[in-house]
Every structure is written in structure tokens, then in C-alpha cells.
């Protein structure tokens, strides 16, 4: 699988606008998630997002901040892209193999794009086959890549479950399944019952675990 690694200031800005200034996703039991995300940012950037009275103003403020902060050292992100490319060439096949072993199915896409971001939240777009990852740390980038590619496999192979579950429960099941690919991650607060279920036994295969998770969600 070809991992196309890019940086786009426009897409970087959208992470701040869509998931800090606004929050356009399920919160999965996270309380005050916008406040928590905001608190991780540089004080100047926090001020921009807090004081902006409309999205257009927030967008311009973030654009000016990122331009000032990173244009002075453009090589910073270029070096990060180059490092991840080299690392993916070494370990990417192993990550794909681990996901294929988990799902007992081939990875369905020839290319996926990862956009590096200066933010601390990593949304994705399944339809356009891209996701975001931290621009600084290789370990975080690889963990995020495994996590998001797990999502993409779930979406591809189990779309019919959305008709049985509500959209929110379908998304919760998708998130909780990363327990199997990223067991070191804590997961979102409302994943806990499903994660405890997944820990409770040795499953014959992922289909069995998914079926059990879906049954739990239908009852609760």
C-alpha cells in the first residue's frame, strides 16, 4: 500500500476550525473536548480561536499564525515528511500485514494519503482516503496510521452494520475495534464497555468479536 505523505496549510487549518473552533464529530463521551483541545495549543493560537466571532475570522487568524510560525523554518515539516517516507518503506508492509492478519482480509486500497498537522487532533476522510497525523513524532505517526487504516478496513468490509446499528453506535464499534490494533491506546470514554468485552476472552476471529460488539450495542 502506498502511503502518500503531504502537508497542506489549508487542510491543517481545517483541523483547528472544524475540531477546535467548532467540533464536527461525535464526542464519544469526552466532556469539554473543545476546551481540552484548546488548552494544548500555543496561547497566541488559543486567543485567536477564542476571540474570533465568526469562522472566516478564525480561519484567517490561524492562517496568519501558521504562516508566521512555520514559514520561517519550512524545512521542519519537509524533514518530517522525508523521515516518515523512509520509515514507511521499512515498516509499512508489516503494518498492512498485521491489519490483514487481524481482519483475515486483504487491505482494500492501493493508496492512502496522510496529511501532517501541527494540531493535536487527527481526523480523517474515508471517502477521500486521507487522514491526519502529528508532524513531529514518528512513533505517533505510525500509531495513528495503524489506527486510521483499521478504521478504513472496518468501513470497507462492514458497511451493512450501519443499517443494523444507529450511526453513532456504528462509529462507536469502529472506534473500539482499534483495541486489537492499538492496544496501548486508552480509547475514548464510551468505548470502555466494548473494550472490556473484547478483553474478556480469546476470540476465534475478528468477525466473532464484531458480532459480539454489535449485539452488545443493540441491547444497550
- 63: cell is 492562517
Nearest-angstrom CA–CA distance, 128 and 180: 25
> Are residues 151 and 95 part of one domain?
yes
Residue 72 has pLDDT above 70, yes or no: no
C-alpha 174: how far from its chain's center? 12
Q: Cell digits for 62? A: 490561524
- Place 97 in a pLDDT band, splitting at 50, 70 and 90: very high
**186: pLDDT confidence band, cut at 50, 70 and 90?**
confident
The pLDDT, as a whole number, for residue 148 is: 98
| 84 and 53 inside one domain | yes
Q: Which residues touch 132 (CB under 8 Å, ≥6 apart)?
A: 11, 15, 114, 115, 116, 117, 119, 121, 122, 123, 124, 144
Say whether pLDDT at 207 is over 90.
yes
Per-residue pLDDT tens over the stretch 141-183: 999 999 999 999 999 999 999 999 999 999 999 999 999 999 9
Q: Which domain holds residue 201?
A: 158-220
Q: What is the pLDDT of residue 111?
A: 98
Amino acid 27: pLDDT: 61
Helical segments of the chain, H only: 9-16, 33-39, 43-51, 55-71, 75-103, 138-157, 161-164, 167-176, 178-181, 192-199, 206-219
User: pLDDT-based confidence at 33, cuts 50/70/90?
Assistant: confident
pLDDT of residue 139: 95
Q: Are 61 and 147 members of one domain?
A: yes
For residues 180 and 128, state if they share a domain: no
pLDDT higher than threshold 70 for residue 30: no
Assess whether 90 and 32 both reside in one domain: yes
- Over range 179-201, report the average pLDDT: 91
Report d(CA 143, CA 147) in Å as an integer.
6
Which strand (E) or helix (H) includes residue 4?
Answer: strand 2-6
Neighbours of 84 (CB within 10 A): 21
Mean pLDDT of 86-111: 98
Q: Which residues have a Cβ under 8 Å from the Cβ of 54 and sit 6 or more positions away?
A: none
**Last residue of one domain, picked from the residues 156, 172, 206:** 156
Mean pLDDT of the chain: 93
Strand 2-6 vs strand 111-117: parallel, antiparallel, or unpaired? parallel
Same domain, 129 and 175: no
Q: For 2-22, what is each residue's pLDDT tens digit?
A: 999 999 999 999 999 998 998
Tell whether 177 and 79 lie within a shared domain: no
- For residues 23 and 168, the model is more confident at 168
Rounded Cα distance, 167 and 215, in Å: 15
Specify the number of domains making up the chain: 2
- The confidence band for 75, taking pLDDT boundaries of 50, 70 and 90, is confident
| pTM for the full predicted model | 0.93
- Are both 139 and 170 inside the same structural domain? no
The reply to whether 37 and 112 lie within a common domain is: yes
Angstrom CA distances, 217 to 36, 103, 180, stand at 28, 21, 18
**Sheet with 124-125, side-by-side order of all strands:** 2-6, 111-117, 130-134, 124-125
Same domain, 33 and 127: yes
Amino acid at each position: 500500500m502506498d502511503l502518500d505523505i503531504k502537508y497542506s496549510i489549508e487542510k491543517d487549518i481545517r483541523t483547528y476550525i472544524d475540531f477546535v473552533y467548532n467540533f464536527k464529530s461525535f464526542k464519544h463521551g469526552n466532556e469539554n473536548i473543545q476546551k481540552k483541545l484548546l488548552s494544548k495549543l500555543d496561547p497566541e493560537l488559543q486567543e485567536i480561536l477564542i476571540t474570533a466571532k465568526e469562522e472566516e475570522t478564525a480561519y484567517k487568524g490561524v492562517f496568519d499564525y501558521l504562516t508566521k510560525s512555520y514559514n520561517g523554518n519550512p524545512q521542519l515539516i519537509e524533514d518530517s515528511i522525508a523521515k516518515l517516507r523512509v520509515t514507511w518503506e521499512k515498516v509499512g508492509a508489516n503494518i498492512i500485514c498485521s491489519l490483514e492478519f487481524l481482519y483475515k482480509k486483504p487491505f482494500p486500497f492501493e493508496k492512502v494519503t496522510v496529511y501532517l498537522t501541527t494540531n493535536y487532533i487527527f481526523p480523517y476522510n474515508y471517502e477521500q482516503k486521507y487522514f491526519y497525523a502529528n508532524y513531529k513524532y514518528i512513533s505517533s505517526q505510525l500509531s495513528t496510521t495503524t489506527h486510521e487504516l483499521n478504521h478504513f478496513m472496518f468501513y470497507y468490509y462492514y458497511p451493512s452494520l450501519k443499517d443494523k446499528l444507529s450511526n453513532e453506535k456504528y462509529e462507536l464499534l469502529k472506534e473500539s475495534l482499534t483495541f486489537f490494533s492499538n492496544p496501548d491506546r486508552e480509547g475514548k470514554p464510551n468505548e470502555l464497555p466494548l473494550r472490556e468485552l473484547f478483553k474478556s476472552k480469546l476470540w476465534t476471529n475478528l468477525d466473532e468479536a464484531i458480532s459480539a460488539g454489535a449485539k452488545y450495542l443493540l441491547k444497550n
